[in-house]
Amino acid sequence: MSLAAHLPVLQVVVPLLSAPLAVLVRHGGLAFGLVTAAAWAAFAMAIGLWFQVGESGTVTYHIGSWPPPWGIEYRVDRLASFVLVLVSGVAAVVLPYSRACVGREIAREQHYLYYAMFALCLAGLLGIVITGDAFNLFVFLEISSLSTYVLIALGRDRRALAASYRYLIMGSIGATFIVIGIGFLYLMTGTLNLVDMGTRLSGVENSRPVLVALAFLTVGICLKLALFPLHQWLPNAYTYAPSAVTAFLAATATKVSVYVLIRFYFTVFGESLVFHKLPLPEIMLWLSLMAMFGASAVALFQNNLKRLFAYSSVGQIGYITLGLSFDSVYGLTASVLHLFNHGLAKGAIFLLIGGLVLGLGRSGGGHGQPTLDRIAGLGRRMPITCLGIFLAGLSLIGVPGTAGFLTKWYLILAALEQGQYWLVAAVLLSSLLAVAYVWRFVEVAWFRPSAREEAGQDEVRHEAPRALLVPAWLLVLASLWFGLDTSFTVSSALDAAEALVGSGR
């Protein structure tokens, strides 16, 4: 067998192995080199898998050569390969950024542990996406969650510890709900393979244990993906974690949970059970709308820039679940597209905010939080950094020419297809809220005088270090590029959506 045939397993094993190696070398620089190399290798492999799926359809890999219903199967279809590219790509960009950033945010003797945890988190997220086995999925979920709690707790502020503890409690409850759901499914079907589970469920899909399993899985996964009333862990975790960690989590962790939800709904339960026999679409629709309006409105009144964009994340997740609730090809396309587009834009924004925080620290403001009065006038001191946040913000709003526009376009198409014109208005109105909170940043950063200018001095230009700007701008440019060249994202998302919706179940 050639190396290409082993890509699915290497995709997970390479980052997973780099974690203990990073601990063994006990040296920040070496650990950085190892983990970054592993992340770039994972990115290359994800792209390789994307092409393999394009050539030969779904790629399956049998761990230890045990055939699927008994052994663990790794399964890469169009959707999985698309999410793999997002997760590994963001990791490959965030890691070089970390190098410049953790030096200032994390104590020196803990650096190698930071990289080890990052590698574990990456391996866990990739594993969730690639595995075709329900219990394996839970194990990877816990690997990524446990390392995420540690990464958040590494933040300098003591509130990072409280946020991490809170996330640990809520995340563990969510994960336990997921195992309970998987347990019921296992009791009913006697298999753990997701595809096999789907075929075997067809005889018993109306029985009560299956409905209970659906309920437990939905609540558990929605806790993980921070659907509106279950999002309480998210704002503080994003606000107080180290900048690089926030960017990585905001771009990947909740997105992977969305992937898990799609996987369970369409591959295991089948749309007829989820969408036609239960009022789940209505519940999903109203929760999504509450997220789009409620969380975005809360974002408007935040004084801390990181928390503002954290609440915006909760709102943006509303668009993803809104797309799911349509149960149509266009709706699902919008969801899949938005988890990619929002990942890029939010990743870029949090990376650039890390640069802002650094600039604030240098001007004598301490390593404080980026509150709005502290960032006043920063548009003149750090124009390139602030311009990046503004451009990525345009993608959050969904301005034509940015990646975010495509999502809104497909959401509106899906709403029109079902004749729900009021939803078109809702999508457009909620975009106005995004305009409002992005504008708040623009207004403070460019049109308010900084402390130095109020004292009558000119503002000196002082950008964030290049090592921070280059990775962040890569993501900014990507979110502009994918707004203009839609061949990669839209075709992947459409393919994935057609395969899932059209599977006839």
Contacting positions for another protein (CB under 8 A): 135, 138-139, 142, 146, 149-150, 153, 158-159, 161-162, 164-165, 168-169, 172-173, 176, 179-180, 183, 186-187, 192, 303-304, 368-369, 371
Q: Can you tell me the distance from the alpha carbon of 342 to that of 395, in angstroms, rounded to the nearest whole number?
A: 8
Q: From the CB of 150, what's the least distance to another protein, in Å?
A: 7
- With respect to another protein, which residue has the nearer C-beta, 304 or 486? 304
Q: Which residues contact 398 (CB under 8 A, 6 or more apart)?
A: 404, 405, 407, 408, 431, 434
Pick the closer one to another protein by CB: 27 or 166: 166
The minimum distance between CB 303 and another protein, in angstroms, equals 8
CA atoms of 142 and 121, how far apart (whole Å): 9
- Looking at beta carbons only, is 159 or 362 nearer to another protein? 159
Our CB check for another protein shows the closer of 165 and 439 to be 165
Identity at 417, one-letter amino acid code: E
Does residue 384 contact residue 469 with C-beta atoms inside 8 Å? yes
Tell me the CB-side half-sphere exposure of residue 86, using CA atoms within 13 A: 38
> CB of residue 164 vs another protein: minimum separation in angstroms?
6
Give the span between the Cα atoms of 333 and 390, in whole angstroms.
26
- Beta-sheet pairing, 73-76 with 59-62: antiparallel
Q: Which is nearer to another protein, 165 or 481 (CB)?
A: 165
Ramachandran angles phi, psi of 356, nearest 5°: -60, -45
Instruction: Give min distance, CB of 25 to another protein, in A.
Output: 23
**With respect to another protein, which residue has the nearer C-beta, 27 or 156?**
156
What's CA 289's distance to the chain center, in Å? 20
Q: CA 311, CA 452: separation in Å to the nearest integer?
A: 30
270 phi-psi bin (left φ>0, alpha ψ -120 to 50, beta other): left
Residue 175 beta carbon to another protein: minimum distance, rounded to whole angstroms:
8
Of residues 186 and 439, the one with the C-beta less far from another protein:
186
Which 3-state string (H, E, C) describes 76-129?
ECHHHHHHHHHHHHHHHHHHHHHHHHHHHHCCHHHHHHHHHHHHHHHHHHHHHH
Please report how close the Cβ of residue 94 comes to another protein at its closest, in angstroms.
23
Distance CA(478)–CA(365), nearest Å, equals: 32
Which CB sits closer to another protein, 141 or 397?
141
- Number of Cβ within 10 Å of residue 499's Cβ equals 18
Q: Give the containing element (helix H, strand E) for 478.
A: helix 466-484
If the CB atoms of residues 220 and 388 are measured against another protein, the closer one turns out to be 220
Residue placing its CB nearer to another protein in the complex, 10 or 192: 192
- CA 321 centroid distance within chain: 13
For the CB of residue 288, give the shortest distance to another protein in the complex, in Å.
Answer: 25
How near is the Cβ of 172 to another protein at its closest, in Å? Answer: 5
Please state the closest distance from residue 143 (CB atom) to another protein, in A.
Answer: 9
Q: How far is the CB of 258 from another protein (least distance, A)?
A: 22
C-alpha separations of 221 from 111, 181, 184, 224, 297 in Å: 31, 10, 15, 5, 24
